[in-house]
Amino acid sequence: MNARALLLLPALLTTGCLPESFSRSDKVERVPVNPFGGGGPAAAETVKQANYAPAPAELSQRVDFIGRKLIAANPQIAMRPYFATAGSPTPEIFHQGTNTLWITSGMVQQCKTEAQLAAVMSYELARMVSEREAKASPTSRNPEGLPPPEVPIGQTGNMSGQDMTHQAELGRYERAHPRARRGWPAPDPQLLARIYLEKAGYAKAELDGVQPLLQTADRNYVLEKQMKAPQTQPNWGQ
């Protein structure tokens, strides 16, 4: 035992604890996002939190009405997402899984007609379906995807008996695309969106007119990053 330890021993016996400099500190040091500076690894992208006022009720009702109309006219979508309108002035539209479709009041206001809003929402619905089908196994894929939707084979509406032409064409398609094969291509969102629009009573060409708006929305993803960021502990008035 060295001389310094011998000098500390009486203090330890008297107080029964280590000096503060020897004990574990409860202080938490805040480490910079990028401790290596500009030359080190890239800093983790921070998500800027923003608070928005609730969207006007009239806009929310419009979104909900068109969303329900698209779903009702297209039961092959096989999902019923919640249509949420955020009170952000920036045009954005995105989804979270198959549960929620988000659209901002700025996007709704950019759509001058009901048909334009339907076109924007039908495209996002189509993206939801395409992503779902891409992740699904061949055995759990939506039967509407085989054969491709809106491609008539034989006289499928003939109720007088079995349609042999339909069965032959379907058999040929099955042989060319075995169910056991992996990597089925996901449905084209553009094609699906046009189908959804037409079945809901809108012109398919409406999708062409909103392409610039969709491209603008793709570049605006502030709210999307905020909604999809890992959830942190809420700040209750601190």
Give mean pLDDT, residues 125-150: 70
According to the model, what pLDDT value does residue 188 have? Answer: 93
Say if residue 197's pLDDT is above 90.
yes
Say if residue 232's pLDDT is above 70.
no
According to the model, what pLDDT value does residue 7 have? Answer: 52
| pLDDT more than 90, % of the chain | 46
Say if residue 24's pLDDT is above 80.
no
Give mean pLDDT, residues 209-225: 91
Say if residue 16's pLDDT is above 70.
no
For the entire predicted model, the pTM comes to: 0.61
According to the model, what pLDDT value does residue 38 have? Answer: 43
CB-CB contact of 105 with 89 (8 Å): yes
CB-CB contact of 131 with 142 (8 Å): no
For the chain, give the mean pLDDT: 74
| pLDDT more than 70, % of the chain | 57
Give mean pLDDT, residues 101-121: 97
What is d(CA 118, CA 67) in angstroms, rounded to the nearest whole number? 8
According to the model, what pLDDT value does residue 47 have? Answer: 45
According to the model, what pLDDT value does residue 213 have? Answer: 96
CB-CB contact of 49 with 226 (8 Å): yes
Say if residue 19's pLDDT is above 60.
no
Computed from CA positions of residues 150, 152, 157, 163, in that sequence, does the dihedral angle turn out positive or negative? negative
Q: pLDDT for 39-69, tens place per residue? A: 444 444 444 556 777 899 999 999 999 999 9
Say if residue 18's pLDDT is above 50.
no
Class in CATH terms, 57-139+184-228: alpha beta
Greatest mean pLDDT among 70-79, 139-148, 157-166 lies in 70-79
Give mean pLDDT, residues 148-168: 55
The domain locations on the chain are: 57-139+184-228
Residue partners of 169: CB distance under 8 A and separation at least 6 = 153, 154
According to the model, what pLDDT value does residue 30 have? Answer: 36
Report how far apart the first and last C-alpha atoms of the chain are (Å, whole number): 50
Tell me if the bond preceding 230 is cis, omega within 30° of 0.
Answer: no
According to the model, what pLDDT value does residue 57 have? Answer: 95
